[in-house]
């Protein structure tokens, strides 16, 4: 498997899907949305972009399976699987808020091989191959050099269902607001992660996430010199539905802030 060729082709597929999404946004009508569940929105744009991505990837690695948000392809493989979010930030897209992305990762069993996150509105393509560093539009990127929480900007997300832990989560955010430069909620976990990778934020944390939300961005953070764990410091961040990504230097401080929440979640 030539990962360099695979990466080049995956970037092209992500950008093609992004161009489709950008074009559809111009005439998008909010009446086109569907509800998968409470506050869980989807549109024909998500579905068609996913079909486009899967079709392109099938030609690259025919033996691979797929883990997809919209379920347009459901066959999984014991070794290689593509993990795809065709439109991360659907709610932003629907409302015309310009932060949303295409996220594609390739995993071999439990090892991430490559990741691509294409932020459509700024035309920024972030990508990484395991062991090769992280890049944005051809330029090497690194995490922030901030050494303490007090000098950091923190990104997070809010759950749109399963609000049982929301009070504890809001308590964490209240504490972080007083101990950092602030908290931002952008609406696309994939974008949050790559912004940590390139130093625009020092950390990102969120729970109730799926593999397709975080797989590509997590690899990009790691390859940019960052650290990625679950809230307890373990390695269950791809399929464990919680993630803490940072520039490494403030990771321990953040884990202390999340300690009570993490314990509560696993009671």
How far apart (Å, rounded) are the C-alpha atoms in residues 112 and 83?
Answer: 10
- pLDDT band at residue 263, thresholds of 50, 70 and 90? low
Q: Is 151 annotated as a binding residue?
A: no
88 among the known binding-site residues? yes
Question: What mean pLDDT is predicted for residues 150-170?
Answer: 84
Tell me the torsion sign for CA atoms 126, 238, 264, 88: positive
Q: What is the pLDDT of residues 179-230, one digit of tens each?
A: 999 999 999 999 999 999 999 999 999 998 999 999 999 999 999 999 999 9
Q: Above 90 in pLDDT, residue 260? A: no
Distances (CA, A) of 95 to 47, 98, 175: 18, 9, 30
- Cβ partners under 8 Å of residue 56, min gap 6: 9, 12, 13, 16
Q: Which domains does the chain have, with CATH numbers?
A: 3-140 (3.30.540.10), 149-265 (3.40.190.80)
What are the residues whose beta carbons fall under 8 Å from the beta carbon of 244, sequence distance 6 or more? 203, 204, 205, 228, 229, 230, 231, 237, 251, 254, 255, 258
Rounded Cα distance between 166 and 159, Å, is: 8
Predicted confidence band of residue 236 (pLDDT cuts 50, 70, 90): very high
Has 260 been labeled as part of a binding site? no
Q: Tell whether 69 is in a known binding site.
A: yes
pLDDT value at residue 72: 86
């Amino acid at each position: 498997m030539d990962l360099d060729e695979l990466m080049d082709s995956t970037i092209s597929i992500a950008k093609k899907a992004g161009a489709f999404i950008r074009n559809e946004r111009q005439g998008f009508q909010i009446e086109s949305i569907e509800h998968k569940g409470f506050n869980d929105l989807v549109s024909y744009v998500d579905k068609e972009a996913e079909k486009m991505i899967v079709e392109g990837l099938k030609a690259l690695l025919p033996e691979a399976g797929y883990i997809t948000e919209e379920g347009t392809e459901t066959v999984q493989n014991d070794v290689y699987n593509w993990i795809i979010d065709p439109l991360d930030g659907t709610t932003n897209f629907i409302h015309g808020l310009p932060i949303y992305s295409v996220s594609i990762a390739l995993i071999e069993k439990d090892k991430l091989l490559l990741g691509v996150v294409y932020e459509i509105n700024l035309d920024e393509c972030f990508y990484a191959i395991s062991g090769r560093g992280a890049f944005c539009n051809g330029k090497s990127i690194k995490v922030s050099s901030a050494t303490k929480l007090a000098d950091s900007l923190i990104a997070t997300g809010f759950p749109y269902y399963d609000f049982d832990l929301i009070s504890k989560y809001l308590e964490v955010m209240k504490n972080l607001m007083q101990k950092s430069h602030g908290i931002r909620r952008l609406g696309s976990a994939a974008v949050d992660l790559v912004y940590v990778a390139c130093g625009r934020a020092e950390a990102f944390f969120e729970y109730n996430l799926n593999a397709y939300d975080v797989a590509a961005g997590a690899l990009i953070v790691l390859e940019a010199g960052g650290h990625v764990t679950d809230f307890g410091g373990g390695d269950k961040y791809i399929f464990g539905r919680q993630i803490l990504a940072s520039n490494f230097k403030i990771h321990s401080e953040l884990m202390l802030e999340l300690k009570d929440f993490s314990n509560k979640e696993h009671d």
